[in-house]
Amino acid sequence: MTRKLVLGLVIIPLGLALIALAVVNRGPAELILNPFGGEHGYMVEAPLFLFLLCAFALGLLIGGFASWLNQGKWRRTAKAEARDARDWRRQADRLERELESVHASQQRPQLPAQ
């Protein structure tokens, strides 16, 4: 249900906007990477929408990486808690087996009196 809502309200309009952006900005544009203003520099000529889509993709990657780094402490905490839970479960299972063996040894079958 939530996926359909997100798809309908976010993804589809965003896709339509990007398609409209690509159709409107088909003209060639130059991207010149020359921070010092000299004669030599790197120049790329491509449609403007390609530069815009690359900028959006780069922003998405940088934002995702930043979120991943920021959530690292929570992943470490979750891993430690899972390890502790696994250790406690093993100890509980071991204690249950010990208790069962103690009960089994205490409940020896009584021989009928003759």
What are the angstrom distances between the C-alpha of 20 and each of 46, 63, 97? 17, 24, 67
> 2-6, 40-44, 97-101 — which one is most confidently predicted on average?
97-101
Element (H, E) at 34: none
Residues across the chain = 114
pLDDT at 89: 97
Looking up tokens 């010149």, which residue turns up? 32
Please tell me which residue, 88 or 2, carries the higher pLDDT value.
88
pLDDT in tens, 28-75: 888 888 877 777 778 889 998 888 889 989 999 999 999 999 999 999
Average pLDDT, the chain: 87
Cα separation, 78 vs 52, in Å, equals: 38
Rg (CA), the chain: 33
Domains of the chain, by residue range, sit at: 22-69, 71-106
pLDDT at 91: 97
**Helix or strand or coil: residue 36?**
coil
Cα separation, 86 vs 41, in Å, equals: 58
Among 6, 16, 20, residue whose Cα is nearest residue 49 = 20
